[in-house]
Chains A and B, each alone.
Chain A
Amino acid sequence: MIQLQYVWHIGQPTQHALEQCLWHDAWTEFTLQCQRYDNGGQWHTLDQMIAADGKSHSLHYKVGFAIGGYVQQWQHQIPGLHDKTGQMPLPFERWELRIMHADLQHPDSFRFALLFDTPVFSLHGIIGTQLVLSATQAPNTHSEDIHTFMVDMQGPLTISRLLPGADLHNKTNLQPCLATL
């Protein structure tokens, strides 16, 4: 059983219209929310604000609220991330925004990441860079068919959690078996 995390970095220059909208709204909200922590304009970077007041950590999720309207309309499907067939969007059950860099004196340096955590999947094998997964959460007894899908682990996708029983090493044994098909 594994859980995946997809990380979407957004900064200038943005890569498309959606990124620009997300960036614009997040930056605007940061300039509003950080006024609570910039000590009358004395601090201009997020790092300075956090060093001076630990409550500044809240800026991560407070800025995240500002793009929550977009996230809601994605309906728990990670934008831009599909299985190998390109037909099945990968779901997320949790997301958060994390500010990577913010400096009020240099708006274009503002960067953040959107982190999407998938549900827990069953890992059935690894073929090259592809994970063979299913949404089932019970051990595969081979007594009945299981609908699987494949996900390419290249790109900003990582395995964020290994749940008890997950054995990535043995899963690679599928590779030589399937390579002969």
Chain B
Amino acid sequence: MSYHYSSNLYNHKTTTTMERIEFLRKGMQAMGIVAIASSCKKQVTDSNTSTGSGSCTVGDTETDGPYPLYASRGSALQRTAIADGKAGIPLSLQITIRNVNNNCAVISNARVDIWHCDKDGYYSGYSNTGYLGTQDNTGQVFCRGLQYTDANGQVSFTSIYPGWYSGRAIHIHAQIYVNNVLKLTTQMGFPDAINALVCATDLYKAHGQPDTLNGTDNILRDSLDNEIATVTANTSGGYNLVHTIYVAA
């Protein structure tokens, strides 16, 4: 990903702002979304609902265009199914968030972000290089998700069992926010024995076995007691991951 031409973008803005405004205004009119309330509501306000008298009449009703603002907004990551069609062995995750400052009570409404690589070791969101060469995954969001914990302090996701990339054991990243304050950035590892089984399956074997085990992983090796998740095979041919993350909130 390159960031080298930002100054050109600035200059461009100063010379074309008015053109852009008019350009976008026309475009938005064509898309039928100019009537959207300024408060980012998910509904379109229709101002032409009254019956006229005299020389004025109600305007014609038209389609609200192909890009209704109210259909969906916000983060692309707030979802439970995060694989986005990526091939892999199914993985169901259940993560519980607990508060070390409150007798390990569960925390509700905590934001839990998770992300991991696909079965070949590639992340979404940016261009990265792995054993299959460079893949530009800019704009893609596979294997990324966020949820807010329920009353039991839990979030659930469905994804695929991650693959691996050179120098790292298989893992999932997680970030925990409580009241919009970042409380913890952490990772969840998988038992080495299960990693070996998964990486020997037809879907994963092209990449071979991971070159790094948990005990030699620079991130996980000093926290094996609290960062290795409980992973068990399920009856659907996939795996269940259960893990508790402790934060000070």
Contact = CB atoms under 8 A, between A and B. Distances in A.
Interface of A: 7-9, 15-21, 24-25, 29, 31-32, 35-36, 57-58, 60-62, 64-75, 77, 79-82, 86, 89, 94-96, 98, 100, 113, 154-156
Interface stretch (B71-79, B157-165, B208-216): B71-79
Given A17-B37, A80-B28, A82-B27, A68 B75 contact: yes
B10 A98 contact: no
B: contact size bracket: 35 or more
Contacts of B205: none
A71 B6 CA distance: 22
Given A75-B66, A79-B67, A100-B10, A17 B77 contact: no
Contact of B24 (A15, A25, A35, A67): A15
Contacts of B182: 32, 35-36
B12 to A, nearest CB: 6
Contacts, number: 146
B139 interface: yes
Contacts of A60: 1, 3
A7 B38 contact: no
B9 A113 contact: yes
Interface of B: 1, 3, 6, 9-10, 12-13, 16-17, 19-21, 23-28, 30-31, 33-34, 36-38, 40, 66-69, 71-78, 111, 125-126, 136, 138-139, 141, 144, 175, 177, 180-182, 185
Given A32-B182, A61-B1, A65-B76, A15 B9 contact: no
Nearest to B137: A61
Contact of B25 (A16, A57, A58): A16
B96 to A, nearest CB: 21
Contacts of B25: 15-16
B40 A7 contact: no
Given A9-B13, A98-B6, A66 B67 contact: no
Contact of A20 (B3, B31, B40, B126): B40
- Nearest 3 interchain pairs by C-beta: A68-B76, A80-B27, A35-B182
A18 B12 contact: no
A62 B146 CA distance: 12
Contact of B139 (A8, A80, A96): A96
Contacts of A69: 72-76, 78
A58 B75 contact: no
Contacts of B141: 65, 68
Nearest to B76: A68
